[in-house]
């Protein structure tokens, strides 16, 4: 027996009772069906079918072949199901800033319920990971890459503004006061292969820096402690009652999703992309936008 492919044609012809019916059931042209039946008969060394008034029927005494073929069919279906499960499941490696990773928490249970085969491996590097060389599948970034990506998609617009501890607002707004900026390395590190808007907007504003950090939650805490002024995502700062806007100026940064070239067609990657787009795209505009 050479392959299951010949046996499935044998079963289809038995069930359909005609070459035309088997051809339609298999989505295969009639000449191919005939060739495969001939190949199977040649392998077995005997004829399997005859033509009578009912059409194409199995030769007498060959009924056990049908039972054996049906067992092969069940095994083939089980094999296909297992192989598809292996392809669908597995680890998807993500990289993003910590403030965006925290947004996934409330949505992970839904992903787990719908796609239990997927395991998310989330890292929160403060630098832009090279997806190809470091084996990361998807990145979410506040910058648009200018080269070296298989696919990218803008998924949100994130407004930033300058915030300060409410207790220090009058101090920083007093006539002649010089504000102090807390700068996050994740926000102003220079990357030549990215259009990083926050870099350009913040150049020249580093005269009075008192601290540099690589984490937005830490930056937020320092700002709340009254250490100085910080450029923060508005949706993050507005959730903290102890912070106040220093002025009305707003910088809007685009949020991009980038996919590694050799993983862009994998089911688990595409499903994770859908999850990320839904998570960030479905955020209420009152959360992301400034009013």
**pLDDT tens digits, one per residue of 20-65:** 999 988 889 999 999 999 999 998 889 999 888 778 898 888 888 9
Question: At residue 97, does pLDDT exceed 80?
Answer: yes
Reduce the DSSP state of residue 190 to 3 states and report it: coil
Reduce the DSSP state of residue 197 to 3 states and report it: helix
* The predicted structure's pLDDT at residue 286: 43
What value does the mean pLDDT take over residues 73-89?
Answer: 70
Give percent of the chain with pLDDT exceeding 70: 79
* The predicted structure's pLDDT at residue 88: 65
* The predicted structure's pLDDT at residue 236: 87
* Separation of alpha carbons 108 and 83, rounded Å: 25
Task: Read off the pLDDT of residues 239-263 as tens digits, 9 standing for 90 and up.
Answer: 899 999 988 888 888 889 999 877 7
What value does the mean pLDDT take over residues 165-179?
Answer: 73
Question: At residue 201, does pLDDT exceed 70?
Answer: no
* Separation of alpha carbons 159 and 289, rounded Å: 6
* The predicted structure's pLDDT at residue 289: 45
Judge whether 128 and 194 are in contact, CB under 8 Å: yes
What value does the mean pLDDT take over residues 76-99?
Answer: 76
Judge whether 221 and 236 are in contact, CB under 8 Å: no
* The predicted structure's pLDDT at residue 266: 82
* The predicted structure's pLDDT at residue 283: 54
Task: Read off the pLDDT of residues 184-198 as tens digits, 9 standing for 90 and up.
Answer: 544 444 455 666 666
Reduce the DSSP state of residue 241 to 3 states and report it: coil
- Domains located in the chain, CATH noted: 4-86 (1.10.10.10), 91-286 (3.40.190.290)
Question: At residue 200, does pLDDT exceed 50?
Answer: no
Judge whether 94 and 123 are in contact, CB under 8 Å: yes
Neighbours of 72 (CB within 10 A): 15
Question: At residue 288, does pLDDT exceed 90?
Answer: no
Question: At residue 86, does pLDDT exceed 80?
Answer: no
CA dihedral sign, ordered 211, 215, 218, 220: positive
Residue ranges of alpha helices (H) inside the chain are 4-16, 19-26, 30-44, 63-88, 98-101, 108-114, 131-134, 169-173, 185-188, 197-202, 216-224, 234-237, 267-281, 285-288
Question: At residue 179, does pLDDT exceed 70?
Answer: no
Beta bridge partners of 165: 243
* The predicted structure's pLDDT at residue 285: 46
Lowest average pLDDT, out of 67-71, 200-204, 277-281, goes to 200-204
Judge whether 70 and 246 are in contact, CB under 8 Å: no
Beta bridge partners of 120: 92
* The predicted structure's pLDDT at residue 3: 83
Beta bridge partners of 252: 159
Task: Read off the pLDDT of residues 130-167 as tens digits, 9 standing for 90 and up.
Answer: 887 788 899 998 888 776 556 788 888 889 898 999 98
* The predicted structure's pLDDT at residue 205: 52
Radius of gyration of the chain (CA): 31
Question: At residue 291, does pLDDT exceed 50?
Answer: no
């Amino acid at each position: 027996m050479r392959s299951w492919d010949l046996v499935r044609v044998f079963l289809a012809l038995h069930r359909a009772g005609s070459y035309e019916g088997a051809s339609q059931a298999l989505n295969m042209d009639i000449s191919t069906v005939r060739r495969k039946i001939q190949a199977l008969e040649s392998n077995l060394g005997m004829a399997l079918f005859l033509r009578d008034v009912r059409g194409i029927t199995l030769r007498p005494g060959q009924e056990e072949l049908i039972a054996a073929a049906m067992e092969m069919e069940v095994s083939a279906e089980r094999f296909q199901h297992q192989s598809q499960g292996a392809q669908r499941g597995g680890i998807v490696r993500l990289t993003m800033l910590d403030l965006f990773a925290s947004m996934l928490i409330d949505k992970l249970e839904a992903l787990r319920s719908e796609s239990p085969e997927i395991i998310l491996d989330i890292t929160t590097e403060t630098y832009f990971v090279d997806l190809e060389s470091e084996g990361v599948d998807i990145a979410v970034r506040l910058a648009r890459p200018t080269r070296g990506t298989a696919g990218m998609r803008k998924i949100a617009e994130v407004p930033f503004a300058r915030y300060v501890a409410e207790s220090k607002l009058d101090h920083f707004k007093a006539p002649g006061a010089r504000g102090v900026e807390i700068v996050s390395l994740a926000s102003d590190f220079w990357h030549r292969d990215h259009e990083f808007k926050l870099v350009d907007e913040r150049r020249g504003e580093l005269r009075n820096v008192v601290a540099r950090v690589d984490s937005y939650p830490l930056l937020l805490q320092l700002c709340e402690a009254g250490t100085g002024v910080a450029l923060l995502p508005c949706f993050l700062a507005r959730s903290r009652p102890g912070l106040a806007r220093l002025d009305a100026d707003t910088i809007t940064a685009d949020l991009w999703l980038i996919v590694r070239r050799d993983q862009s067609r994998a089911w688990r990657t595409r499903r994770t992309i859908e999850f990320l787009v839904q998570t960030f795209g479905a955020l209420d505009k009152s959360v992301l936008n400034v009013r």
